[in-house]
Amino acid sequence: MDAKIVATEPFDGQRPGTSGLRKKVKVFQQARYLENFVQAIFDTRADLEGGVLVVGGDGRYYNRHAIQVILRMAAANGVRKVLVGRGGILSTPAASCIIRKHQTQGGIILSASHNPGGPEEDFGIKFNAANGGPAPETMTEAIYTRTGEIDSYRTLETEDLDLDQVGETRLGNMVVEVLDPVADYADLMETLFDFGAIRGLFESGEFRMRFDAMHAVTGPYATEILEGRIGAPAGTVMNGIPLEDFGGGHPDPNLAHAKDLVAQTQGDDGLDFAAASDGDGDRNMILGKRFFVTPSDSLAVLAANAHLAPGYKDGIVGVARSMPTSQAADRVAQDLGIECFETPTGWKFFGNLLDAGRITLCGEESFGTGSDHVREKDGLWAVLFWLNLLAARKESVADIVKEHWQRFGRNYYTRHDYEAVDSDAANGLMDYLRGLLPTLPGTELGGVQVEYADDFAYTDPIDASRAEKQGVRIGLVGGSRLVFRLSGTGTQGATLRVYLELFEPDAAKHGRETQEVMQPLIQMARDLAQIESRTGRAAPDVIT
């Protein structure tokens, strides 16, 4: 079957952000918009011709259509074989797992992650490389450059394929293998964690949990692993059927958007353990009875206890965290005598460290935790890790975290997001802060001396690639920090993220309410960045 060559013209603004190209569905629905970006991938990744590609997404609106477009274009661009999840479904970590296990040349993942879905909402596309991880910046920049010069794309004129049955079909000369989206991933989890011990928790009759899939992609994964392989009671997984609009909600596992689940952990009768994941299954939120584990603390606790899970029984070689993530993990690394890295926001910056064997665990404050088992953050993995920990230590979530604070000190932490702010105002605010930086060190903020103030830049220790302007950070003597950056995943105006951290070594002061403790820092950040006068916002939209 001959490829059809269709003339096209570049679109502005197809530069991938923190995690791929994310736009409103309406933007993707413009004729040739998706095709241009996909052709730019094929034009820059020469090894895809004659190679194998993984394709799947989080099941949101436009997922099925986009996959059919990509399959036809893959065939027309000489791809030998595509592995696609049944129904077009693959969680982000499962896609990473399949790329690695089947040693493919890469994958295309369709998702806008935690952003809402539906005809009026968001869609996204990203390319993952042969290591299973998000394309590094050199690759995304090459793709972006190509989108600016593209003048045609290749496709076939064929009917849509049936992707709802497992098995092999052909599209032109290309083989399309529809596979069970869960099996390879579930097998991998079984090698890392002690499913028998976790089963024991449920069999004890004294342990109650829920997992909220938020109507997003992890439903089938959690159902198979928790209720199927481990034997948790039916109904443990809630909102387990992926919906194109995620039931109208934000599939974002945090205290603001997973309210129903949080409510079930409250009161004397609250659940012992609750967890949720996001649209594409790479984020996680961990809750105990009346207890919220911050993602930064979660990374630190997992690092300190990793040896209790079979997959990490020999210990971990190093950890990494994104710059705005609290420094709790650093203290664990120091105690273990292992390396600790601070990287820019976005999982793509962990890839080289993982590939080089320099780190085993990594995480971000934005509810992302992961390890060298794949090259993406992994929501369900984190949940299983916690379950394994609970089974091994036979203590509650709250007790485990409180003991951790006693040992290492507590890093109080909060993030305030100002969403859909006017872009010029947000950029003006960041420029203003950057201008202030040289004047800050040595001065006092709220009676505490500023130790350093800079715009975070990172040189990758493996390939020496450089990332600049990754966020303004202001460190105070004693370990408190104020961090400001603009989101690279939003699709409307700009989102200003303000990250605040306060270190408290004194165990007698570990039981305080976070927002209260942080109030002076919150006010300091608002004043310093002139948030209200510059954005017109008296309060943040989301507090996590």
Q: Which residues bind Co ion (CB under 5 A)?
A: 113, 278, 280, 282-283
Among ligand VG1, Co ion, none, residue 371 binds (CB under 5-8 Å by kind): none
165 C-beta neighbours (distance < 10 Å), count:
9
| Phi, psi at 154, each rounded to 5° | -110, 135
Between the CA of residue 169 and those of 71, 74, 84, 172, 176, what are the distances in Å? 12, 14, 11, 10, 5
Looking at beta carbons only, is 230 or 329 nearer to ligand VG1?
329
Per-residue x/- mask for ligand VG1, residues 226 to 265, rule CB under 6 A? Answer: ----------------------------------------
Separation CA 114–CA 277 (nearest Å): 9
Q: Could you say which of 86, 497, 526, 534 contacts ligand VG1 (CB under 6 A)? A: 497
Q: Which of residues 211 and 412 has its CB atom nearest to Co ion in the complex?
A: 211
Which residue, 96 or 264, has its beta carbon nearer to ligand VG1? 96
CA distance 96 to 74: 19
208 near ligand VG1, rule: CB under 6 A: no
Q: Which of 346, 363, 370, 475 binds ligand VG1 (CB under 6 A)?
A: 346
Rounded Cα distance, 413 and 501, in Å: 5
In the complex with ligand VG1, which residue's Cβ is closer, 137 or 227? Answer: 137
The correct pick among 77, 96, 113, 155 for binding ligand VG1 (CB under 6 A) is 113
Residue 82: phi, psi to the nearest 5? -120, 135
Report in angstroms how near the CB of residue 124 gets to Co ion at its nearest.
10
Of ligand VG1, Co ion, none, which one does residue 347 interact with (CB within 5 to 8 Å by kind)? ligand VG1
Instruction: Return the HEC string of 232-266.
Output: CCCCCEECCCCCCCHHHCCCCCCCCCCHHHHHCCC
Determine if 28 is a binding residue for ligand VG1 (CB under 6 A).
no
For residues 356 and 462, is the Cβ–Cβ distance under 8 A? yes
Asked if 352 and 136 count as a contact pair (C-beta separation under 8 A), the reply is yes
Q: Would you call 290 exposed, middle or buried from its count of C-beta atoms within 10 A (0-12, 13-18, 19+)? A: middle
Catalytic residue from among 113, 277, 298, 371? 113
User: Which one of 43, 212, 282, 460 is in contact with ligand VG1 (CB under 6 A)?
Assistant: 282
Q: Please, what is the minimum distance in Å from the beta carbon of residue 470 to ligand VG1?
A: 10
Nearest approach, Cβ of 158 to ligand VG1 (angstroms)? 31
Contacts with ligand VG1 by CB under 6 A: the residue count is: 18
Q: From the list Co ion, ligand VG1, none, which binds 128 (C-beta under 5 to 8 Å, kind-based)? A: none
Of the residues 63, 264, 294, 366, which one makes contact with ligand VG1 according to CB under 6 A = 366
Rounded-to-integer distance, Cα 503 and Cα 28, Å: 44
CA-wise closest residue to 381 among 149, 167, 186: 186
DSSP secondary structure letters along 2-67 = PPEEEE--PPTT---BTTBEEEEHHHHTSTTHHHHHHHHHHHH-GGGTTSEEEEEE---TTHHHHH
- Look at residue 171 and give its three-state secondary structure: strand
Tokens of 436: 């202030």
Task: Name which position in 283, 358, 404, 481 contacts ligand VG1 (CB under 6 A).
Answer: 283
381 close to 226: Cβ distance less than 8 angstroms: no
From the list 58, 194, 224, 278, which residue makes contact with ligand VG1 (rule: CB under 6 A)? Answer: 278
CB-wise, 18 or 44, nearer to ligand VG1? 18
96 catalytic per annotation: no
Binding to ligand VG1 by residue 18, rule CB under 6 A? Answer: yes
Contact residues toward ligand VG1 (CB under 6 A) are 18-19, 113-114, 278, 282-283, 322, 345-347, 364, 366, 368, 487-489, 497
